[in-house]
Amino acid sequence: MEFTLADLPADRVPAVVALCGRALDLPEDAAEAESVVTALWPRASADRTVLAVGAYAGDDLIGVLIGSVSAADPRLGHVDLLAVAPQRRRRGVGRALVAEAERRLAGLGVAELLLAGNPPYYAWPGIDVRYTPAVCLALALGYRQDRTAWNMTADLSYDGSPALRTTEPAEARLAGQGVSVRRAEPADLPALAAFARSTFGGAWDGELAGSVGRADAGCHLAERDGEILGFAAWGSSRPSWFGPMGTAPAAEGSGIGGVLLRRCLRDQHEAGISAAQIGWVGPVPFYSGSAGARIERVFFLYRRTL
């Protein structure tokens, strides 16, 4: 099959969304194709170098790759999205798109390419193990798996779900300790970013900015005497995804984290989301106990020196 590769101009976003709606095999990914493409391409372009390449058979867009340069380390590049139309697979399209990304990113000074998410704009931590052709392609191209990540799923489909347990008693208890919990507003962003940066490092500023004050997203915070003690956010890149969240070390064990988590999950439920993805999970027991979440999506992360 003959095809050509070309840069994708910004006005091709709708065509890329349409292709991803057909090419992303997992229904939960296809349903959020517009959010995924918008986060990885137009939104991410404001903060980092983004590469968008299309594969064409005649005038038909049959494949797309979105890649980026790490804002934290310009020697690292990422493949953020690779999608090929189902009827055009196993004909070299994906291989050609990755090779083009390698060539172009190397020209920008990238020394190592990761098949892994590039926060704060990412759709997956890596390759979902159920995308078997993508795993096979990574191995065939000489990428090595260096990490495994996983998501947990919180069931929001029924009112009695553990993820939707009321937070009112816990909030009343916290209030008795001088801790108030509320929805974050855009005016809170500087303080939230400063708290996240000083407590957890500088990786979450962008995700907080993508959650506070945006449609299909939100954030809640806990504070005492004007001092932030914790936050939880959702919808930064995808409406169904929860995170990031963090609690000040001095407030750990206070119940603040569970309250913030379930307030966000309630928001997602009220937005019509039936299952929330807690992305790139660390503390599995916390999410299991606080929201009845279960490990579900598993991702392989790959890298290769260029």
User: Rounded to whole angstroms, how far apart are CA atoms 47 and 232?
Assistant: 23
Rounded to whole angstroms, what are the CA distances from 197 to 24, 89, 210, 252, 298?
A: 34, 43, 16, 18, 28
CB 207 within 8 A of CB 246: no
Q: Which of 219, 225, 226 is nearest to 246 (CA)?
A: 219
8 A C-beta contact, residue 239 and residue 214: no
Tens place of pLDDT per residue across the chain (306 aa)? 799 999 999 999 999 999 999 999 999 999 999 999 999 999 999 999 999 999 999 999 999 999 999 988 999 999 999 999 999 999 999 999 999 999 999 999 999 999 999 999 999 999 999 999 999 999 999 999 999 999 999 999 999 999 999 999 999 999 999 999 999 999 999 999 999 999 998 779 899 999 999 999 999 999 999 999 999 999 999 999 999 999 999 998 999 999 999 999 999 999 999 999 999 998 999 999 999 999 999 999 999 999
- Report pLDDT for 243: 94
Is the bond preceding 9 in cis, omega lying within 30 degrees of 0? no
pLDDT score, position 270: 97
**Residue holding tokens 């004007």?**
226
